[in-house]
Amino acid sequence: MVRLNRIYTRTGDDGTTGLVDGSRLAKHDSRMEAIGAVDEANSAIGLAAAAAPDGDIASKLFRVQNDLFDLGADLATPAAEDDDFAPGEMVLRVIDRQVALLEQEIDAATAQLAPLDSFVLPGGTELAARLHVARAAARRAERAVTALAAQERVNPQAVAYANRLSDLLFVLARLANDGGAADVKWVPGANR
């Protein structure tokens, strides 16, 4: 259980921040960029959830928000050389079941949608537009996670989760656009 007695600690006044293992690194480090991008995506998802009526989309978004805290904790726990990325009592890791659940939800949503015959513009209903903003934030988080993974060992399931998330948000945006009927389609060269 997390307990926060004070919000500010002053320990970051030197430009560093602490990780789960007690180590400190610069706030502009690529690991912190990845953690921050995941937090931004989570906030964008919260904004979308605020516009979602109680139901299937809202419950999926709230579950994803919880998973993104898991992802942030995973990224805040640097891997040792022999780390197999298994979760433990004191180590939280994204697991394959979380990635599989995203895939199941993507497949279930896709089954309710007509196939695309064009790219769609990010818009439509308010909820769909918010989901597209969240999708774009999730893609930025994915880029930050993969940039970190190019430099250091990162849990492969964390990378996979970041990769699947934008796909889920895309299909949920289409569902929020009247099952795709209200999607705003791209018209190539329309304004030439």
pTM for this prediction: 0.91
Report if residue 19 sits inside a domain.
no
Asked if residue 109 has pLDDT above 90, the reply is yes
Q: Which domain range does residue 140 map to? A: 24-181
Residue 120 lies in a domain: yes
pLDDT in tens, 3-37: 667 777 776 777 878 788 878 998 899 999 999 99
Model confidence band, residue 1 (pLDDT cutoffs 50, 70, 90): low
Alpha helices in the chain (DSSP H): 30-51, 56-75, 96-111, 126-151, 156-176
Say yes or no to pLDDT of 81 above 90: no
Given a cut of 90, is residue 80 above it in pLDDT?
no
Residue 161 lies in a domain: yes
Burial class, 147, CB count within 10 angstroms (exposed 0-12 / middle 13-18 / buried 19+): middle
Asked if the structure places residue 65 within a domain, the reply is yes
Residue 180 has pLDDT above 90, yes or no: yes
pLDDT value for 84: 82
Q: Is residue 6 assigned to a domain?
A: no
Count of the separate structural domains present in the chain: 1
Q: Is residue 192 part of a domain?
A: no
CATH number, domain with residue 69 = 1.20.1200.10
